[in-house]
């Protein structure tokens, strides 16, 4: 069905710590898993994505891992900085239609100096 | 390339009125999707248009409608506005290559307040 569970809903870390956000899903047809960052009052912006033919992808301090068998994917942010504070959304494509992104409920990340 | 643009950025309406929002996709992108964002329900899919045709529709009442023009620009319309329609309405565009699940790029949104 159309459901993505995202945890935790809020996350508070100290600057320099790591942050991990996890999403689980039930619809196995998606082969594309993007993560978006939304700062207050701004549009969601893609920060990293992964396709189902790879298990991990890294881009500087950000990485995403995907376990298609267990149906979960995670966002990892290392050496967090105050500017990482935002709401992060995971998403995937619903198998029932083109370009119909289903979003997780979001994780509000606060990085304290 | 210029990003996705939306107009107007802010709108205040009263219950019972109707509203039309506009979205211009990134040049060359043929698919436009619309999403409603509220604190309580998060980001929810409204509908998607490709080549002037609605390909997908979310679970919203018939008061929500849209269309796409030959230049890929899209509009959405909400009739008989209700207080619960207050939200940030986001559109997103993608190239829509056949058979490929792609990145969607979001516009800045239109914030609608219904009084």
pLDDT tens string A7-21: 999 999 999 999 999
3 state DSSP class of B84: helix
Return the percentage of chain B with pLDDT > 90, whole number. 80
Inspect the interface and report whether the beta carbons of B96 and A46 lie closer than 8 Å.
no
Separation CA A59–CA A47 (nearest Å): 9
B58 chain-A contacts, CB cut-off 8 A? 100
**Average confidence score pLDDT of chain B:** 93
> What pLDDT does residue B83 have?
97
Cis peptide before B8 (omega within 30 of 0): yes
> What pLDDT does residue B97 have?
66
Residue A106 token pair: 């979001």
Distance in Å, alpha carbon of B16 to nearest chain A alpha carbon: 27
Separation CA B49–CA B28 (nearest Å): 14
Q: How many CB pairs under 8 A join A and B?
A: 65
A101 chain-B contacts, CB cut-off 8 A? 33, 35, 45, 92, 104
Instruction: Give the pLDDT means over successive 10-residue stretches in chain A (113 positions).
Output: 88 98 86 93 94 90 94 96 97 73 94 95
pLDDT at B39 over 90: no
- Residue A30's nearest CA partner among A47, A49, A56, A14 is A49
Inspect the interface and report whether the beta carbons of A44 and B43 lie closer than 8 Å.
yes
Separation CA B107–CA B110 (nearest Å): 9
> What pLDDT does residue B42 have?
87
A100 chain-B contacts, CB cut-off 8 A? 33, 45, 48, 56, 58
- Residue B56's nearest CA partner among A102, A28, A98 is A98
Torsion sign across C-alpha atoms A7, A52, B90, B49: negative
Higher pLDDT, B55 or A108: A108
> What pLDDT does residue B67 have?
97
Return the percentage of chain A with pLDDT > 90, whole number. 74
Inspect the interface and report whether the beta carbons of B107 and A43 lie closer than 8 Å.
yes
Separation CA A36–CA B13 (nearest Å): 30
* Contact between A22 and A6 (Cβ < 8 Å): yes
Residue B5 token pair: 């643009």
Return the percentage of chain B with pLDDT > 70, whole number. 97
Separation CA B83–CA B27 (nearest Å): 35
> What pLDDT does residue B44 have?
93
- Please give the average per-residue pLDDT across B70-93, as a whole number: 97
Any A CB within 8 A of B60 CB: no
> What pLDDT does residue B11 have?
96
Q: What is the pLDDT of residues B87-107, one digit of tens each?
A: 999 999 998 766 667 889 999
pLDDT at B19 over 60: yes
């Amino acid at each position: 069905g159309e459901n993505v569970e995202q945890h935790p809903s809020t996350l508070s870390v100290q600057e320099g710590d790591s942050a991990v956000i996890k999403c689980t899903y039930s619809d196995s047809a998606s082969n594309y898993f993007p993560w978006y960052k939304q700062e207050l009052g701004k549009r969601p912006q893609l920060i990293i994505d992964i396709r189902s033919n790879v298990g991990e992808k890294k881009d500087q301090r950000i990485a995403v891992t995907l376990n298609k068998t267990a149906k979960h994917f995670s966002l990892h942010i290392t050496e967090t900085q105050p500017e990482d504070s935002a709401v992060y959304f995971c998403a995937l494509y619903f198998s029932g239609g083109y370009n119909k992104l289903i979003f997780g409920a979001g994780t509000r990340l606060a990085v304290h100096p | 390339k210029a990003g996705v643009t939306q107009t107007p950025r802010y709108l205040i309406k009263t219950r019972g009125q109707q509203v039309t929002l506009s979205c211009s996709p990134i040049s060359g992108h043929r698919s436009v999707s619309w999403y409603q964002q509220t604190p309580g329900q998060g980001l929810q899919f409204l509908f998607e248009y490709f080549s002037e045709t609605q390909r997908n529709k979310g679970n919203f009442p018939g008061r929500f409608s849209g269309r796409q023009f030959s230049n890929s620009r899209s509009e959405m319309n909400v009739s008989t506005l209700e207080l619960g329609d207050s939200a940030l309405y986001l559109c997103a565009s993608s190239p829509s290559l056949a058979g490929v699940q792609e990145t969607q790029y979001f516009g800045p949104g239109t914030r609608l307040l219904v009084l």
